[in-house]
């Protein structure tokens, strides 16, 4: 049986609120020169849009189901900062469809960077889990 391709019109997209959430979590206004050394701010904004849109498209194809927008925004923020292989190995993409209440606990597990615990990453994961659960931060 042939697998049906998903058109770009059917893919779920990152909302403007989700993009603001991501920028707030990575402190974009202060850290963009570190990510894109020697690149103008406008070019860095375009690269950020490119990365986020491709992460959102990949997640939309992988999940295969429409989920509420705030949950999708939290997942894009979470998946953008992870290596591809680590995301593939995580149970999170299966839990989104079958057991969505287990997703926030799974999101909070990924607090290491280069094998070391990172306190800023722990705060970011906590905020992403809260956005996934409740749809807001406070």
Task: With cut-offs at 50, 70 and 90, classify the pLDDT of residue 138.
Answer: low
Rounded CA gap, 89 and 74, in Å? 19
Q: Is residue 4 part of a domain?
A: no
Q: Is residue 48 part of a domain?
A: yes
Q: Is residue 114 part of a domain?
A: yes
Rounded CA gap, 11 and 62, in Å? 10
Task: With cut-offs at 50, 70 and 90, classify the pLDDT of residue 8.
Answer: very low
Residue 85 has a pLDDT of 75
Pairing of strands 112-113, 116-117: antiparallel
Q: Is residue 8 part of a domain?
A: no
| Number of domains composing the chain | 1
| Domain, as residue range, for 95 | 16-134
Q: Is residue 125 part of a domain?
A: yes
Q: CB–CB of 63/93 below 8 Å? A: yes
Q: Is residue 28 part of a domain?
A: yes
Closest to 17 measured CA to CA, from 76, 87, 60: 76
pLDDT by residue (tens digit) across 93-128? 777 878 888 889 888 888 887 788 888 888 988 999
Q: Which of 26-30, 37-41, 78-82, 134-138 has the highest mean pLDDT?
A: 78-82
Residue 9 has a pLDDT of 44
Task: With cut-offs at 50, 70 and 90, classify the pLDDT of residue 35.
Answer: low
Task: With cut-offs at 50, 70 and 90, classify the pLDDT of residue 7.
Answer: very low
Q: Is residue 11 part of a domain?
A: no
CATH (domain of 69): 1.10.530.40
Residue 130 has a pLDDT of 92
Residue 100 burial (10 A CB sphere; 0-12, 13-18, 19+): middle
Residue 32 pLDDT more than 60?
yes
pLDDT by residue (tens digit) across 50-103? 888 888 888 888 887 778 889 899 988 888 877 777 777 777 777 787 888 888
Q: What is the DSSP letter of 113?
A: E
- Going from the C-alpha of 37 to that of each of 25, 33, 34, 44, 86, the distances in angstroms are 20, 5, 6, 9, 26
Positive or negative, the CA dihedral 122, 133, 72, 69 is: negative
Residue 31 has a pLDDT of 72
Q: Is residue 38 part of a domain?
A: yes
């Amino acid at each position: 049986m042939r697998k049906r391709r998903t058109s770009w019109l059917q893919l779920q997209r990152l909302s403007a609120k989700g993009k603001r959430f991501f920028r707030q979590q990575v402190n974009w206004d202060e850290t963009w020169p570190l990510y894109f050394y020697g690149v103008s701010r406008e070019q860095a904004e375009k690269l950020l849009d490119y990365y986020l849109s491709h992460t959102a498209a990949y997640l939309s194809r992988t999940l295969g189901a429409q989920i509420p927008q705030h949950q999708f925004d939290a997942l894009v923020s979470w998946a953008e900062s992870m290596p591809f292989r680590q995301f593939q190995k995580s149970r999170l993409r299966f839990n989104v469809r079958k057991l969505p209440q287990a997703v926030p606990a799974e999101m909070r597990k990924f607090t290491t960077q280069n094998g070391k615990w990172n306190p800023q990453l722990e705060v970011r994961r906590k905020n992403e889990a809260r956005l996934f659960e409740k749809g807001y931060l406070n």
